[in-house]
Structure 1
């Protein structure tokens, strides 16, 4: 069976705060480590009251210090917001403290709206070449220092932190293929070009020192519970949050709502059906069947699972049910 990994947005539920969300993230990371998940990634988002992982490297340091085996990483750092040297130093520091456990996923979106992006960067000037150039500059900082090199990442130089390219279109697929890097596609919220991007990446991939063959990781929402009905109830928190975000009303993660689907207008229903089509929601058997079908349909090499569940205990249980289903599939394979 292919590996399962966790993408944690460190959700801040209604009535809670960022501190509790980050403590929950550490608890979930320990839970995921015990269950055998391969990676625990956190994502950079800004000006979003329901997501506590804006300072991604800091949040990852918190998680890494409280775990011992699971790989930790960014899924991802939005590189246009940062100077490559600073990210090399941040993730070089993580790698120095936790050798062999750190991944760095890079995206070219701002992880925010344009007003917030301006507040972070002050200047939005740039061109289409900036992201590939910045990726290559960042990767160079992780190589051993060369004679006469004027600028080096300390820590970072020589640590060979594995770099991933994140994307939701063929642009990232082409870049990952050209650089010989693993590719993570954001199918959990932007699945439209998933099949095309994967095909482009596999067809154009060129081996590199980091990676000999293409490696595709796909994002998927998995909400698991004891019954299908309970899982659909939990899933309604994400549905509400997504509608709020897309209609300009971002906020904390709402509590689940009974029969939420029944009250959706046609526009909202179509938006959710499109954006969240890569979702598996149900009891153990439904999750097992959905997981098997998704892997077979996409040919993914790894899955990055996210679950924006309001109740932390239910979230822990969801990942446990998924791990059990995955284990049963592995035994049957």
Structure 2
């Protein structure tokens, strides 16, 4: 048996499911509609039994509306009742740690026991926009652990500066990553770890192994806990799923080309698009796309291979109805 899988690994149907939503802005639509669609998805997800609903910080991308991440989290939490809502993630180097403590302390006060704080160290954008956010690019990778410690100090009250609201808040902190850096930091600090296998599939097993091998129990977590980010697009047939997935593939292609756009409608001939062969990356081929049977088989294989404790599903789908249907299929097959 793969060393990543413990002897008491959960059956794949018992794995908690969550959603990572990019709040897509559709071609021909606007951000207001995106927020309405994401609220509707979150409400359905709550009814279907999903565990968490996270949104991600991105900037200078016309196809993603979740740049003001904490505001969007509050909007979604206010429209739901029980599902956990959080960031997947907040890109901490873009912000003063005190501001994040205050924002998430406020969210926790408004929606107690339902807020997650996932932290990443990438800018979530291009270098020019990162400079506009930070006014400096002098930070080093080594600064991220110090920022996390500063943020923790505001929450636990050990800082000389008080975060109000924030101090004393019991907000789960997750570290997010697509390489070994955050995996090792999460292990050292005894925090839960979410790995972005949907855009770094080649690093998945190595990063998870690093996290599990180096994990140190903490007051927060006694055993390692891995939530795996995976791109899944499900439909009634393999052919329909492949067609629907062409919107996500177009988005990835435009992003890799340095010219992100609004989320485009599906096309029937994606592989023939100019630049596909040169710019298509492993994140395109790593997506799980197919009918309920195909999707189930691939998800089961992924869970067995990684021993993931939880899956957080993402998928860029142009039609809101098709997006709802995809997440409902996944919930039904895993329930």
CA contact (8 A) 1:182 1:211 kept: yes
CA contact (8 A) 2:289 2:295 kept: yes
- Kindly report which structure 2 residues correspond to 1:57-206, keeping only aligned pairs within 5 A, or say none: 57-143=70-156, 145=157, 150-206=160-216
Give the structure-2-normalised TM-score.
Answer: 0.93
Indicate the SS of the match to 1:193: helix
Asked whether the equivalents of residues 102 and 165 of structure 2 are also in contact (C-alpha less than 8 Å), the reply is: yes
Aligned length: 322
The answer to whether 1:27 aligns with 2:40 is yes
Range 286-295 or range 54-63, more displaced:
286-295
Partner of residue 276, structure 1: 284
Q: Which residue of 1 aligns with 2:235?
A: 225
Shift of 1:55: 0.2
Q: Deviations over 1:67-120 (max 9, x none)?
A: 000000000000000000100010111111111111000000000000000111
Cα distance between partner residues in 1 of 2:82 and 2:309:
21
Kindly indicate whether residue 321 of structure 2 is the aligned counterpart of residue 321 of structure 1.
Answer: no
Q: Secondary structure at the match of 1:33?
A: helix
Q: Which residue number in structure 2 is paired with residue 330 of structure 1?
A: none
Query: Once superposed, what is the RMSD of the aligned Cα atoms?
Result: 1.3
Structure 2: distance between partners of 1:187 and 1:269: 22
Normalising to structure 1: TM-score of the pair? 0.94
Q: Distance in 2 between matches of 1:190 and 1:26?
A: 28
Structure 1 counterpart of 2:7:
none
SS of residue matched to 1:77: strand
- For 1:24 and 1:269, the matched residues in 2 are separated by 33
Residues 1:208 and 2:218 are matched in the alignment = yes
Q: Where in structure 2 are there 5+ consecutive unaligned residues?
A: 1-13
SS at match of 1:276: helix
Report the counterpart of residue 303 of structure 2 in structure 1. Answer: 295
Answer yes or no: is the 8 Å Cα contact 2:104–2:117 preserved in 1: yes
Structure-1 separation of matches of 2:278 and 2:314: 21
User: 244, 265, 283: which one pairs with 1:234?
Assistant: 244
Structure 1: state its 5+ residue gaps. 328-333
Q: CA deviation digits over 1:270-308, x for unaligned, max 9? A: 753512343211111111111111111111111110010
Instruction: Give secondary structure in 2 for the equivalent of 1:142.
Output: helix
Aligned equivalent of 2:253: 243
